[in-house]
Chain A
Amino acid sequence: MEEKKEVKPQAIVEIEDFGPLKISGNFLVKDLKRDKEESPTEIRLCICGKSANKPYCDESHKK
């Protein structure tokens, strides 16, 4: 079998309006301010600026 040359997406990144930013798949998160690294299979990150639990979404964008 010949190896496929096409590059496959490693993750799916979805954004709806003010949040959150949803990532799923093969990814590595580095939080430079809090000096933290993690590689979950799914994550929801705040992009509205209002979360009290940054960098994660806490649903504050709905308020």
Chain B
Amino acid sequence: MEKNENQFSGGRRYKNEDITVFWKPSACIHASYCYRELLEVFDPSRRPWVDMNGATTEKIIEVVNLCPTEALAWKWNDEAKNESVGTDQLNHIKFRRPELMNANDPEAKEQPVSVKIMADGPIVLKGNFTLSYNGTRKEIRDSMISICRCGVSDHMPFCDGQHRKAGFIG
């Protein structure tokens, strides 16, 4: 039963007494906020890589909220508290993984495309835009891509996380 409890469709969950953190590896774009800000909890070189005893609940929530994708999301274990969570809690499942909450996706249609230049990392583009690279043209709708900025990726032009090993500074 314990194994089932820690796994869910598309990922794993990690709990302390206050909150549950959901990890969805397929959504990760290696923006690297989690381990940069809180290696005690999020250590990619450790298994399991999330240690919920590594920091206070407040600190874990703060860092999960920095994740620019739905790779990391969280909720209160006390379900009643989840209803009243404010929009400043960016990565609460209510906003990031509504399918885990039975909520509808908040929409943002005519928003400018968000272009984030990560510290020593990739360019993260989010929103509705046309992407063209090496003769390929793609329409991106309400989603996110991560472009390599170090020149080392094996999946150019997309980031594959190698900037960390390469020691890219920029």
Contact = CB atoms under 8 A, between A and B. Distances in A.
A35 B109 CA distance: 26
B146 to A, nearest CB: 11
Interface string A17-46: 110010101111111110000010001011
Interface residues of A, number: 34
Interface in B147-161: 147-152, 156-157
Contacts of A49: 149-152, 168, 170
Contacts, number: 113
B115 A33 contact: no
B157 A15 contact: yes
A27 to B, nearest CB: 4
B147 A9 contact: no
Given A27-B113, A33-B120, A9 B128 contact: yes
Tell which of A18, A26, A39 has the most Cβ of chain B within 10 Å.
A26
B81 to A, nearest CB: 30
Given A26-B112, A27-B113, A49-B151, A33 B132 contact: no
B132 A15 contact: yes
A36 to B, nearest CB: 9
Interface of B: 109-120, 123, 125, 127-134, 139-142, 147-152, 156-157, 168, 170
12 contacts: A8-B110, A9-B140, A11-B130, A13-B130, A13-B132, A15-B133, A15-B157, A28-B115, A46-B149, A46-B170, A47-B123, A49-B151
